Each structure stands twice: as C-alpha cells, then as structure tokens.
Structure 1
Amino acid sequence: MPKLTHPRTADFRPTHVVPPHGMPAWEAPDPARPTVPLDPLLPVQLVERLGDWGHIRCANGWAAWVDGRHLVAVPQDPPVADAAPATAVDPRPLLASVEEALADYRSAVEELAGGGLDGESFQDRTRELRIGLVVDGESMWVYDPEEGRWLYGDGRHLSTYATDRTAAGEDIGHAPTRLAAPKGEPS
C-alpha cells in the first residue's frame, strides 16, 4: 500500500481545482494503477508535471496523479469581494453551518465507534453531509452545500470561487474523495 504523507497545512496553497464533473486519479502516472476519483471542484495543489500527468496534493496531504490537462487553474491571488460590505456575503452563518455539520459527523463517528450504529446506519445518517473548509492564515475556502459552490473569504467577506452547478442550475453530483500518495515523493 502506498505511503500517505501529511505535510504541514501551511504548505498547502491551492493552485487548481478539479473540474466541475470530478476526475479520475491514479496512484502513479500509470493508467493501470487507478484509485478513487476526485470530487468536483476540490481545491488541489499541482506539485509536479510529467508530460500530461499532474501530481496533485490536497489540503489533508494526500496525493495522487491526474490528467493535468483537465485541472482548472485558480488565479494567483484569490478573488476579492468587490461588492460593498452591505451586499457581500457574511462568512459567519456559513461557518456556523460548517461547525454544525462537523458536530453531526463527529457525533455519528462516536456512535459508530461505540457500537451504537452499524455501518449502514452510519451511512444513512451521514449521507447528506458535505463539508469543505480550508483555512490558510487570513484566507479561507469554504464549501456551501446549499448553493453548491466554493467561496473564498478574507475574514470579512466571501466571494464565489467555483461552483458545482451547471449553467442551468442543475446539480451535477459528486464522487467520493479518497486519495493515495504515489510511491516516491517528488523532490
């Protein structure tokens, strides 16, 4: 099994996001070594390129190889809310909903670990939970599951960073994310 690494969170700065339809991933730059696909719009850091292959890392330190041609580049500087504060999105309600969803998930994990839930009941209880949060100093990327979008925040305002809805507003769904690090870390 490949070794998973967990670098310091401060080392993670998203350079790309996964396309809105998600994408397949591989343990190594070899089509014969697939792993679980990546979630749509997952923020990733492109660490290395090898032809069309891209070695990516996620905020939790897990890594995989992807078809680097399909990654969506993010701006060098994250978007800044240009709207007046009165019309900008206040981050506090969304952060409160992230805390609530995380507490619900933690509670389900505790019940599962304590034998109060079986695997199927755990899946049923957590099926609708979707949480995404990356905090890097004053910068924050947070997922809003009600609107199906990632937002960037500077502590005062949030602005849309990417969305997983089609132009018509239809939800395109998502795949589970579990990444495996390739053998041999890049230098």
Structure 2
Amino acid sequence: MSTTYHRTGPDHDAHRFRPTHVVPEDGLPTWAGPDASRPSARLDPLLPVRLADTSGDWARIVCANGWSAWVDGRLLVTLPHRPPGTGRPLGTTGDPRPLLDALARSLAAYRELVERLAAGELDLDTFRRRSGELRIGVVIDGPSAWLLDLDDGRWYYCDGTRLQTYAAVEPPSPG
C-alpha cells in the first residue's frame, strides 16, 4: 500500500510544482528548521525540489508531494532555465577559433580591470563603468563547451571542431 500526499496552496499544488533545484548525487540531510540541532529525514539523490525560502546558507525546500524541510542551500544543484527561443534557424557554424579569440580578449580585458582594482589603481565606480560593456559567457565541461557570442546574440555548443547554435539571447522577433 502506498501513501499519497494531497495538499493545497501555492507551495503544495503538485500540478503546479516547478522544481528549481535538485538534491546532489549523494543525497542531502534535512532539518525541521534552520537549526542544525533539529535533524529530520534524508533526501534521495537527484530529487527535484523547489526553493521556497532562504536564511543565510539555509534553504527551505518543497518537494512535489508538498513536504517541506530546511537544507544546506549551498549544496543544492540549480536547474537551468529553459533557453530562450531564437528567431533564426538553428545551424552549424564553421571554425570555433574566431569566437574563442573574441572570448579570450574579453576575459583578458576583465582580468586586467580586476588586477587594477585589486592593486588600488581603479576605484569601484571606475571598475564598474569600464567593465560595464564587457560580456562573456563560457562553460567548458571536458570536450564540450558552451560559448556566448553577444555580438550575434547566441549561445553556441562546441564539440572542438564546430559551433552549433544552442540558444538565442534575445527572444524571437514577431513573425
């Protein structure tokens, strides 16, 4: 015999449950409140949860069945948002090196500004003003890379040999 939880309200409607995070691969202990002296159950690995509240490093999560508990919020794995659509067809681009060169130049410019700020050569307002136009996005995971080209308004997936459009930064234009 299985037990099904039925709860109502904005935190507990299973039909509207939208996870924001998942539990890490090794599971996660929970507490009844943001207090380490009040332990509760352990969450299963990769369980989808929704972040409902935070208090410092503590996070109150809600499960699909409506059960709520406090966890170490630093350990939750954030789910990515669905990428925005693209007004242009997805496609493959040739050589990834020109985009990698542009990303390297942006990263070098940002690093130089950080170094000058740390050395006291720039104040925070000047740093913010000069870095305000820099845009870069890179995620490298082994042989896979996701590269942001803001000039073209797209994220690209790179397998080392070619770029393939992954998502557009801007929403599609009206048809």
TM-score, normalised via structure 2 length: 0.51
The answer to whether 1:125 aligns with 2:146 is no
Give the unaligned 5+ runs of structure 2: 1-19, 22-48, 57-61, 67-73, 84-89
Structure 1 segments of 4 or more deviating over 4 A? 62-66
Local SS of the residue matching 1:104: helix
Q: Pick one of 132, 135, 142 that aligns with 2:140.
A: 135
Give the direction of change, closer, same or farther, for the CA distance of 1:143–1:30 in structure 2 (3 Å limit). closer
Q: Pick one of 35, 45, 54 that aligns with 1:33.
A: 54
Letter of the 2:54 partner, please give it: R
Q: Which has the higher strand share?
A: 2
How many angstroms apart in 2 are the aligned matches of 1:163 and 1:147? 9
Q: Pick one of 71, 82, 85 that aligns with 1:72.
A: 82
The answer to whether 1:156 aligns with 2:161 is yes
Rg (Cα) greater in structure: 2
- Structure 2 equivalent of residue 182 of structure 1: none
Q: What's the CA shift for 1:72?
A: 2.3
**What CA deviation, in whole Å up to 9, does each residue of 1:73-120 have, x standing for no partner?**
8xxxxxxx975xxxx332100000111001000000011011110000
The answer to whether 1:106 aligns with 2:106 is no
RMSD value, Cα: 3.6
Letter of the 2:131 partner, please give it: T
Q: Pick one of 44, 51, 55 that aligns with 2:64.
A: 51
Q: What's the CA shift for 1:138?
A: 1.8
Give the direction of change, closer, same or farther, for the CA distance of 1:133–1:30 in structure 2 (3 Å limit). closer
- Work out the percentage of aligned pairs sharing the same amino acid: 36
Q: Is the 8 A contact 1:29 1:65 kept in 2?
A: no
Tell me the number of residue pairs that the alignment of Structure 1 and Structure 2 aligns: 110
Q: What's the CA shift for 1:34?
A: 8.4
Q: Is the 8 A contact 1:98 1:131 kept in 2?
A: yes
Q: What's the CA shift for 1:71?
A: 3.4
Q: Is the 8 A contact 1:143 1:151 kept in 2?
A: yes
How many angstroms apart in 1 are the aligned matches of 2:65 and 2:99? 37
How many angstroms apart in 2 are the aligned matches of 1:145 and 1:82? 17
Give the unaligned 5+ runs of structure 1: 1-23, 36-48, 54-61, 74-80, 170-187
How many angstroms apart in 2 are the aligned matches of 1:140 and 1:155? 8
Q: What's the CA shift for 1:51?
A: 2.1
- Structure 2 equivalent of residue 146 of structure 1: 151
Q: What's the CA shift for 1:64?
A: 5.5
Give the direction of change, closer, same or farther, for the CA distance of 1:101–1:91 in structure 2 (3 Å limit). same
